Structure 1
Amino acid sequence: MSKAQSKISRKTMFFLRGLIIVIGGFITAYGLEAVLIPNSVSDGGVTGLSIVGSQWTGLPLGVLIAILNIPFIYLGYKQIGKGFALLSILGIASLAISTSMMHHIPTIVGIEGDTLLVTVVGGIIIGFGMGLALRNGGALDGIDMLAVLLSRKLPFGTSDLILFLNLFVFIVVSTVFGLRGALMSGIAYFIASKVIHLIEEGLSSTKAVYIITGYADEMIKEIRDRLGRSCTVQHVEGGYSKKEFRQVKSIITRLEESQMKEIIQDVDPEAFITVHEVTEVRCGNFD
Structure 2
Amino acid sequence: MYYRWFKSYLGVTFGVFLTALGLDAFLVPAKIAAGGVSGIATILYYMVNLPVGAVMLALNIPLFIWSSLRLGWRSTVNSLYGMITLSLFIDLLAPHMPLITEDLLLASLYGGVLMGIGLGLVFRFNGTTGGTVLAAAIVRSYVGINVGQLLFLIDAIVVVWAGVVFQSVELAMYALITIFLTSWIIDRVLEGFSSAKAFIIITSKAEAVGDAINKELDRGATAWKGKGMYTGMEREVILTIVGVTQVTKLKAIVQEQDPGAFVILAHVSEVLGEGFQGLEGKK
Q: Give the shorter-chain TM-score range.
A: 0.7 to 0.9
Q: Secondary structure of 2:94's partner?
A: coil
1:106 aligns with 2:102: no
Report the 3-state secondary structure (helix = DSSP H, G, I; strand = E; otherwise coil) of the residue aligned with 1:248: strand
Match of 1:264 in 2: 254
Pick from 205, 215, 236: which aligns with 1:215?
205
Q: CA deviation at 1:118?
A: 1.6
Q: CA deviation at 1:161?
A: 9.3
Alignment deviations for residues 133-189 of structure 1 (CA, whole Å, 9 cap, x no partner):
122222235345659xx9xx9999x8x996786344322322223211111111123
Contact 2:35 2:158 (C-alpha < 8 Å) held by counterparts: yes
Unaligned runs of 5+ in 1: 1-8
Aligned to 2:220: 230
Q: 1:68 maps to what in 2?
A: 59
Q: Which residue of 2 aligns with 1:116?
A: 105
TM-score, L = length of structure 2: 0.79
Residue by residue, what CA displacement relative to the aligned partner does 1:229-268 show, whole Å, maximum 9, x if unpaired? 1001122223343332211111112232232222222223
Alpha-carbon distance in structure 1 between the residues aligned to 2:83 and 2:185: 19
Structure-2 residue corresponding to 1:241: 231
Whichever residue aligns with residue 127 of structure 1, its letter is G
Residue number among 124, 128, 134 corresponding to 2:123 in the alignment: 134
- Asked if 1 retains the 8 angstrom alpha-carbon contact of 2:210 and 2:221, the reply is yes
What are the equivalent positions in structure 2 for 1:200-211 lying under 5 Å apart?
200-211=190-201
Distance 1:77 1:187, change over 3 A: farther
Change (3 A) 1:235 1:45: farther
Relative distance call for 1:91 and 1:275 in structure 2 (3 A) is farther
Distance 1:239 1:106, change over 3 A: same
CA contact (8 A) 1:21 1:87 kept: no
**Contact 1:34-1:105 within 8 A present in 2 as well:** no
**Cα gap change, 1:237 to 1:104, in 2 (>3 Å):** same
| Contact map agreement 1:26 1:129 (CA 8 A) in 2 | yes
5 Å-filtered alignment, 1:172-187, equals 172-177=161-166, 178-187=168-177
Distance 1:203 1:103 in 2: 31
* Separation in structure 2 between the aligned mates of residue 53 and residue 265 of structure 1, nearest angstrom: 63
Correspondence for 2:281: none
Q: Percent identity?
A: 29
SS where residue 236 of structure 2 aligns? strand
**Which range moved further: 189-198 or 206-215?**
189-198
Given the superposition, is the C-alpha separation of residues 239 and 103 from structure 1 closer, same or farther in structure 2, using an over 3 Å criterion? same
User: In 2 relative to 1, CA 75–48 (structure 1 residues): closer, same or farther, beyond 3 Å?
Assistant: same
Match of 1:12 in 2: 3
SS of the equivalent of 2:197 reads strand
The answer to whether the aligner puts 1:170 opposite 2:159 as a matched pair is yes
Over the aligned positions, Cα root-mean-square deviation in angstroms equals: 3.4
TM-score by length of 1: 0.79
User: Aligned partners of 2:96, 2:69: CA distance in 1, in Å?
Assistant: 34
Q: Partner of 1:139: helix, strand, or coil?
A: coil
Indicate conservation of the 8 Å contact 1:74/1:85, yes or no.
Answer: no
Matched to 1:45, the amino acid is: G
Equivalent pair of 2:34/2:155 in contact (CA under 8 Å): no
Q: Which residue, 70, 75, 87 being the options, matches 1:96?
A: 87
